[in-house]
């Protein structure tokens, strides 16, 4: 999972960010947070406990800031730097998805019409 230019807010004070499962249910995979705005009110609050992070997990961050872009918002993950090929990969959907381009969802322009159906 790669979160680019995202907004992370929360309703509780502690939010674990290191326990994702990839699509097949395995407890490993990559997660990257790139240039996200993160609610750090009252401290970071996002936790990556070492007990919850598996050796097979790869967790990256780059350029995250608070909600109004006035302070850095580090998550305690592996920090990527400019020019790092991992940053380029995590920032590009084409590279991250290995060339796969998902189809767009249908664009519904009008509300559904109510129908009455009579059983025969």
* 103 pLDDT more than 70: yes
Whether residue 68 is contained in a domain is answered as yes
DSSP string, 2-52: EEES-EE--SSS-EE-S----TTS-S-EEEEEES-EE--TTS--EE--TTT
Structural domain boundaries enclosing 15: 2-96
Q: What is the mean pLDDT of residues 97-111?
A: 81
pLDDT of residue 107: 80
Residue 77's Cβ-count burial label (10 Å; 0-12, 13-18, 19+) is: buried
Whether residue 103 is contained in a domain is answered as no
Query: Which has more pLDDT, 62 or 19?
Result: 62
pLDDT of residue 18: 55
Q: What is the mean pLDDT of residues 14-31?
A: 56
Left, alpha or beta for 35 (phi > 0: left; psi -120 to 50: alpha)?
A: left
Q: Do residues 95 and 67 lie in contact, with contact meaning Cβ atoms separated by under 8 Å? A: no
Indicate the number of domains in the chain: 1
Whether residue 78 is contained in a domain is answered as yes
For the chain, the average pLDDT equals 77
Dump pLDDT digits (tens) for 51-83: 455 556 778 899 999 888 999 988 878 899 999
pLDDT of residue 24: 44
Q: What is the mean pLDDT of residues 30-41?
A: 85
Q: Kindly report whether the global pTM for this prediction surpasses the value 0.75.
A: no
Whether residue 11 is contained in a domain is answered as yes
pLDDT of residue 104: 78
């Amino acid at each position: 999972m790669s979160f680019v230019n995202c907004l992370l807010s929360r309703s509780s004070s502690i939010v674990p960010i290191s326990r994702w499962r990839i699509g097949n249910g395995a407890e490993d995979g990559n997660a990257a947070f790139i240039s996200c705005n993160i609610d750090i009110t009252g401290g970071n609050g996002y936790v990556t406990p070492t007990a919850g992070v598996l050796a097979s997990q790869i967790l990256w961050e780059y350029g995250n800031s608070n909600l109004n872009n006035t302070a850095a918002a580090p998550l305690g993950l592996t920090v990527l730097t400019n020019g790092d090929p991992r940053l380029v990969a995590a920032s590009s959907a084409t590279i991250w998805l290995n060339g796969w381009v998902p189809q767009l969802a249908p664009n519904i322009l009008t509300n559904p019409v109510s129908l009455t159906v009579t059983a025969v």
